[in-house]
Structure 1
Amino acid sequence: MRIAVVILNWNGKTLLEAFLPSVIANSPEATVYVADNASTDDSVSFLKAEFPHVKIIQNTTNGGYAKGYNDALKHLEEDIFCLVNSDIEVTKNWLTPVIETFKAEENTAVIQPKILDFKKKTHFEYAGAAGGFIDKYGYPFCKGRLFNTVEEDEGQYNTITEIFWASGACFFIRKDTFNTLNGFDETFFAHMEEVDLCWRAFNLGYISKYVSSAVVYHVGGATLNASNPKKTYLNFRNSLATLTKNANGNIFFLLFARLSLDGLAAFKFLIRLQFSHIFAIFNAHFSFYARLPKLLKQRKELTQNNTEYYKTKSILWSYFASNKKHFTDL
């Protein structure tokens, strides 16, 4: 079973210098690629000089995470794609349990490793933790991280378990599955595209798994920090698109409820006087309304699975009203 480890890079020479050596040293089973998203720094010349054995794919435009990987992966022939952020440190033998799981479980199409915080290695990392889940209204959350409550890794999630979505920070997928799904939705640009892809996979009967014995450390926010309003905009816009395309049931009821909940989120930003994030939510909604006809058309073309997709009906209610701060409380 051949595996390609693909690092998407955009003006990230510093990150490549810091983290690429760990990927190379600990991935003897894989072919390592760097997919450059039309960088304007000297990333490519640096790679050619310092890591001549690493294969470079040069995309002609910066289409973000979604298009960047779609463009890069179409050239590859390996059986398994491993998509790795440029700010990930991997550990010894991290690929072995993933490969073993893929070999043993034919219907497992997507895998996420345990993602710990590079800056606080005793704790899970915000973007992925021990695997992703979703509530009825399309709000994502993780095992090991609910909103800003990040758990310490005490071995509480040290089993291979089924999850709903795998983090794009370190994302394994079978090539055949990726092609069947036509890759990421490029209109997302960045954020939530992995949730959308996993939801489409779920609706076709594929399984996503969390493999705890594969461990990586993620810096997080290296490309777009959580405090950046653009990240708020992309997360809200793309989350609404994901829900519209993939959720079963009465989509208009779900959207009405979801839009009301987004209003509460905007009110929370208002209390904190974070006006730029309020405008980001409004802009996300206006963009969503403009795209709604196309999204509804996509919905008709896609399969919606009648299997219950959500872990809890409302993660907002569970966390803020019922004070359930840990995944095991849900």
Structure 2
Amino acid sequence: MEEKRSVSVVIPNYNGRYLLEENLPSVFEALTVAEVSFEVIVVDDASTDESVAFLETTFPQVVLLQNERNRGFSPTINRGIMAATKDLVLALNSDVKLTPNYFLPLFKYFTKKDTFGVMGRILDLDGEKVQDVAKYPQQKPTGKIKSTIDFVLDPMPKNYWLPSLYLSGANALVDREKIQELGGFDEIYAPFYVEDVDLSVRAWRLGWPCYYEHEAVCHHPESVTIANYHKKRKIYVISARNKLIMHALHLQGVSKVIWNLKVFVDFMIYWLALNFRFYEAFFLFLRRFKQLQQSKKRMKQLLKKYNRKESINTIIERMRQEIEAYNVVKLDI
């Protein structure tokens, strides 16, 4: 199969004028080095700074879409994804700086027609600290999908395509037709967190693998875009709510029963610990019940369309067994 070689870069932005000024030049440089047909789409999420004016005057070649009100990550990036026209879509955070050769090791993954996407290695701005690599597939006996374990192989095999449980939403290069088929990131997770895990899990369930490429490098400061604009309590509550949503969407059978029992036990533990943030997260989860049913229905329709019946439990275990044939190094990031 011929490589897919045209790229739509989609960047969601909220009050990130200085980030755009800092990082957009690296995007255009990487695209130029890649020698591909491309478009850069920035979706502004009702910024109150000078982001829009800056883009209009400094980067007129950017396709600029503007939300009338602030909507959060998923609805904002989805608007750009659905407007994309090239073979591949790079979902890119505004605080990520690409290296000049970023795209070059990635195109080969799309010679396989079932590939959903691939992510590169994310380092800090100095290139000294690893922030994101491949995500180890693990499911706890409680049914919990563990998505926070970073890993690499040592040595990294030259001709092995390393699967990753999910692709970071900060730098995921994906097949445009597939991500549009999925409807982009599920907006049930708005305003932020877990949506990239869910997107990749949906892709895996449809038989579309996700990969990690160690030689594709980009740079990223530590949690700039969310931590700068939201309080720690809100971040905790939204993250906990979204983890409840993801497990409700994707667990089946015995795993789902065990997970529900775990949530019940957590209720007791957090009550004794006087941790009422969990209760806030749970009741926010209940308020998304109607959206949850709609998301389940859409996923069920896609599974039927592509004749897929494999559970996420089975997918995770198969992926884990494949990876464990190599020397796995789990990183403490």
Q: What is the root-mean-square deviation in Å for CA atoms of aligned residues?
A: 3.0
Assess if the C-alpha contact under 8 Å between 2:6 and 2:87 holds in 1.
yes
Partner of 2:321: none
Residue in 2 aligned with 1:141? 148
Alpha-carbon distance in structure 2 between the residues aligned to 1:311 and 1:219: 33
Contact 2:121 2:218 in 1 (8 A): yes
Counterpart position of 1:105? 112
Equivalent of 1:61 in 51, 62, 69: 69
- Look up the match of 1:281: 278
Deviates more, 1:297-306 or 1:217-226: 297-306
Match of 1:299 among 285, 296, 299: 296
Partners of 1:5 and 1:309 in 2: how far apart?
29
For residues 109 and 241 of structure 1, the distance between their equivalents in structure 2, rounded to whole angstroms, comes to 23
Deviation string, structure 1 residues 75-120 (Cα, Å, up to 9, x no partner): 2211111011111111121111112221x2221112111111225x
Aligned-pair CA distance for 1:156: 5.5
TM value normalised by structure 1: 0.80
Structure 2 match to 1:181: 182
Structure 1 residues 290 and 3: alpha-carbon distance in aligned structure 2, compared to 1, 3 A threshold: same
How do residues 126-137 of structure 1 correspond to structure 2 at under 5 angstroms?
128-131=132-135, 133-135=137-139, 136-137=143-144
Instruction: State the distance in 1 between where 2:294 and 2:60 align.
Output: 46
118 and 129 in structure 1: CA distance in 2 versus 1, 3 angstrom threshold: farther
Q: Deviations over 1:293-320 (max 9, x none)?
A: 65356435524632524469xxxxxxxx
Q: Is the 8 A contact 1:85 1:170 kept in 2?
A: yes
What is the aligned length? Answer: 297
What secondary structure sits across from 2:117 in the alignment? strand
Q: Residues 54-95 of structure 1: CA distance to partner in whole angstroms, max 9, x if unpaired?
A: 222223332211100112222221111101111111112111
**What is the match of residue 324 of structure 2?**
none
TM-score (norm 2): 0.79
Residues 1:130 and 1:217: Cα distance change in structure 2 (over 3 Å): farther
Q: 2:29 aligns with which of 21, 25, 28?
A: 25
- Deviation for aligned residue 1:178: 1.0
Deviations 1:2-28 (A, max 9, x none): 111111111111111111121122221
* Residues 165 and 198 in structure 1, CA contact (< 8 A), matched pair in contact too: yes
**1:1-330 correspondence runs (5 A):** 1-28=5-32, 29=36, 30-102=38-110, 104-119=111-126, 121-125=127-131, 128-131=132-135, 133-135=137-139, 136-144=143-151, 160-189=161-190, 190-225=192-227, 228-250=232-254, 251-258=256-263, 260=265, 278-292=275-289, 294-296=291-293, 298-299=295-296, 301=298, 302=300, 303=303, 305-306=310-311, 308-310=314-316, 327=330
Instruction: State, as a whole percentage, how many aligned pairs show the same letter.
Output: 27
Deviation, structure 1 residue 208:
0.5
The residue type equivalent to 1:88 in the other structure is: V
Q: Secondary structure at the match of 2:106?
A: helix
Contact 2:237 2:281 in 1 (8 A): yes
Distance 2:236 2:47 in 1: 24
Tell me, what secondary structure is at the counterpart of 2:252? coil
- 1: CA distance, partners of 2:232 / 2:252: 32
C-alpha distance in structure 2 between counterparts of 1:194 and 1:21, whole Å: 25
Q: Which amino acid aligns with 2:161?
A: I
Q: Distance in 2 between matches of 1:263 and 1:13?
A: 45
SS in 1 for 2:216: strand
Q: Report if aligned partners of 1:112, 1:131 keep a CA contact under 8 Å in 2.
A: no
What is the one-letter code of the residue matched to 1:37?
D
- Look up the equivalent residue of 1:105 and give its one-letter code: K
Q: Distance in 2 between matches of 1:7 and 1:31?
A: 11
Output the amino acid matched with 2:129.
H
Cα deviation for residue 290 of structure 1 reads: 3.4
CA distance in 1: counterparts of 2:17 and 2:223, whole angstroms: 16
Unaligned runs of 5+ in 2: 304-308, 319-328
CA contact (8 A) 1:129 1:142 kept: no
Write out the 4+ residue segments of structure 1 that deviate beyond 4 Å after TM superposition: 153-159, 261-264
